[in-house]
Amino acid sequence: MNTQDTSPPTPLGEIEFWFEFGSNYSYLSVMRIEEAAALRGVRVAWKPFLLGPIFKSFGWDTSPFVLQKEKGIYMWKDMERQCRKYDLPWTRPSTFPRASVRPMKIAAAFSDQAWIGLFCKRVMLLNFALDRDIDSPEAVAEALEGVGPAPAEIVAEAQSEENRHLLRAQTEQARARGIFGAPTFFANGEMFWGNDRLDDALELAAQSLSA
Amino acid sequence: MNTQDTSPPTPLGEIEFWFEFGSNYSYLSVMRIEEAAALRGVRVAWKPFLLGPIFKSFGWDTSPFVLQKEKGIYMWKDMERQCRKYDLPWTRPSTFPRASVRPMKIAAAFSDQAWIGLFCKRVMLLNFALDRDIDSPEAVAEALEGVGPAPAEIVAEAQSEENRHLLRAQTEQARARGIFGAPTFFANGEMFWGNDRLDDALELAAQSLSA
């Protein structure tokens, strides 16, 4: 258990999935987590949060992939290979990292809906396969088309007073739990960082089911 | 291919293994690379280099796991789990990162010897399983015991005028090739970073054999 984490442990058979639509390695996990979790009988708790304020708390004004040139060059090459490996479409975004508050607020407000996975996949594909500005009303409308009832109502509800501070509160919770990047997973009270650890986290969540 | 890399591509069927005895994730790769490479018919080119000067070039005076507290806390937990996964002994070193110039100079001077893998494994076990000061003459002598002929001669030759600048030159080469952490692998001209990418790098090296 993370020593900074005072939250109750993740419920049995559940994986918490902390992600950001602007994060390239979150793209890999968003695309594959639902199927991988379902195959193991594990439930996914979707936890959108903003990386910007986390990076700011470290004194960084943008992504470490921008701040650290060598790591950034490598990351783009790695993404190409990882997408080939997982059989995912890939276009290097012309803007990185992309602003994502508008779709993130929707994900935060509707994280318990059956269509959350489909919506998140669509937003990620817009960013990392189609190189679109995911923070525009048009892109959000496109991602919502046909996923659930009444896209306009979803957009309005995400902007309501009730949901206004949800994303900020969830980002603060991420920081308090020691999250320093995305994607991050919690299974059985343990933290796992990076798409490379998704399978290990799912294994632990599935074990907790049969324990 | 890394855009900063002007070196000739790695020969067919070979993997370049860039590592540091003070690096915890290098420990995982040092312990498993020989067997994993042999199973695929791939030859390992051992490339010791110092992380300190690389980190200094980024403006850091120590490991990012020390500079970034949250990442450091996570890393120790991750190492515990990774060692369990690979069935490796593990003790969190009481000093981190450990100075390693003395054994690193030996690795640089004798990287083409048949006993290089065994020597490197012994140094890594001293650091990450036995919590010993690997930069001491005693630890180095212990790591050399019985691996090759005449440990005293090996120590003397590593300190000779001829080998004096080898480690520094190799570190400079690492920087010039865009290496920003350890372990790093090159296969078929492509760079791979981190123990999590060792298998992908080996796959590519093995493919280049049959191509």
Contacts of A2 in chain B (CB under 8 A): 73-74, 77
Helix ranges, B40-100 (H)? 51-57, 64-67, 69-85
Cβ of B68 within 8 Å of Cβ of A196? The answer is no
Confidence at residue B211, expressed as pLDDT on a 0 to 100 scale: 62
Look at residue B193 in the predicted model and tell me its pLDDT.
98
- Determine the average pLDDT of the residues in B123-131: 98
pLDDT at residue A164 greater than cutoff 50: yes
Which residue of A73, A193, A197 is in closest CB contact with B2? A73
B116-128 helix and B24-39 helix, angle to the nearest 10 degrees: 150
Contact across the interface for B73 and A4, Cβ inside 8 Å: yes
Q: What is the pLDDT of residue B12?
A: 81
pLDDT at residue A20 above 50? Answer: yes
CB-facing half-sphere around the CA of B34: CA atoms within 13 A: 12
Residue A210 C-beta-side C-alpha neighbours within 13 Å: 7
A→B contacts (Cβ < 8 Å), by residue, are: 2-4, 58, 68, 70-71, 73-74, 77-78, 81, 85, 178-181, 190-193, 196-197, 200
Is residue A173 over pLDDT 80? yes
Reported confidence tier of residue B1, pLDDT bands at 50, 70, 90: very low
Look at B191 and A77 and tell me if their CB atoms are within 8 Å: yes
Q: How far is CA A128 from the centre of its chain?
A: 13
Contact A64, A71 (CB under 8 A): yes
Residue B3 has a pLDDT of 45
Residue contacts between A and B (CB atoms, under 8 Å): 53
- Closest CB to B191: pick one of A3, A68, A74: A74
Rounded Cα gap, residues B186 and B192, in angstroms? 6
Inter-chain touch B70–A197, beta carbons under 8 Å: no
Cα–Cα distance, B159 to B157 (Å, whole number): 5
If you average pLDDT over residues B174-193, what whole number do you get? 97
Minimal CA separation from A180 to chain B, in Å: 6
pLDDT band for position A78 (cuts 50, 70, 90): very high
Residue with tokens 């494994």: B121
Contacts of B85 in chain A (CB under 8 A): 200
- DSSP codes joined into one string, A25-49: HHHHHHHHHHHHHHHTTPEEEEEE-
In chain B, residues with a C-beta closer than 8 Å to the C-beta of A196 are: 196
Among the partner residues B2, B3, B74, nearest to A193 by beta-carbon distance = B74
ipTM of the complex: 0.91
Beta-sheet strands, E only, within chain A: 14-19, 43-48, 184-187, 190-193
Q: Which amino acid, one-letter code, is at B100?
A: S
Partners of residue A191 in chain B, C-beta under 8 Å = 74, 77
Lookup result for tokens 């450091």: B72
Name the pLDDT band for B202 (thresholds 50, 70, 90). Answer: very high
Across the interface, whether the CB atoms of A2 and B77 are under 8 A apart is answered: yes
Between CA A11 and CA A7 the distance in angstroms is 11
What DSSP string describes B84-127? HHTT------SSSSPP-HHHHHHHHHTTTSTTHHHHHHHHHHHH
Residues of chain A positioned with their CB less than 8 A from the CB of B78: 192-193, 197
Cα–Cα distance, A12 to A42 (Å, whole number): 9
Determine the Cα angle at A48 with ends A42 and A51, to 5°: 130
In Å, what is the CA distance from B101 to each residue of B20, B28, B87? 9, 20, 28
Check whether B142 has a pLDDT greater than 70.
Answer: yes
Residues 6+ apart with CB under 8 A from B163: B105, B108, B109, B157
The CA-atom distances, in angstroms, between A130 and each of A48, A51, A73, A90, A117 are 21, 22, 21, 8, 18
Which residues of B fall below an 8 Å CB-CB distance to A? 2-4, 58, 68, 70-71, 73-74, 77-78, 81, 85, 178-181, 190-193, 196-197, 200
Please count the other Cβ atoms lying within 10 Å of the Cβ belonging to residue A89: 10
Tokens 């817009």 -> residue: A126
Share of chain B above pLDDT 90, in %: 86
B26, B181 Cβ separation under 8 angstroms: no
Nearest to B178 among A58, A70, A196 (CB): A70
pLDDT exceeds cutoff 60 at A184 = yes
What is the sign, positive or negative, of the torsion defined by CA atoms of B132, B36, A195, A34? negative
Q: Given this model, what pLDDT does residue A158 score?
A: 94
- Helix H, strand E, coil C: the string for A157-184 is HHCCCCCCCHHHHHHHHHHHCCCCCCCE
Looking at residue A8, what is its pLDDT?
66
Under an 8 A CB cutoff, do A4 and B70 touch? yes
**How far, CA to CA in Å, does A104 sit from each of A25, A120, A163, A166?**
16, 9, 12, 10
Quick one: tokens of A43? 């439930």
Distance CA A148, CA A106 (A): 12
In this prediction, residue A2 has a pLDDT band, given cuts at 50, 70 and 90, of very low
User: What pTM was estimated for this model as a whole?
Assistant: 0.93
Q: Cβ B77–A190 below 8 Å, yes or no?
A: yes
Cβ-Cβ contacts under 8 Å, A3 against chain B: 73
Q: What's residue A6's pLDDT?
A: 56
Residue A210 pLDDT greater than 80, yes or no: no
Region B49-77: mean pLDDT is 94
CA–CA distance from B9 to each of B5, B29, B186, B188, B208 (Å)?
A: 9, 22, 8, 6, 11
d(CA B141, CA B158): 13
What pLDDT, on a 0 to 100 scale, did the predictor assign at position B37?
A: 98
* Higher pLDDT pick, B148 / A63: A63
C-beta of residue B137 within 8 angstroms of C-beta of residue B102: yes
CA distance B190 to chain A (A): 9
What per-residue confidence (pLDDT) applies to A128?
A: 98
Give the pLDDT confidence score for residue A209 in this predicted structure: 76
* Residue A1 pLDDT class (50, 70, 90 cuts): very low
Residue B187, pLDDT > 90, answer yes
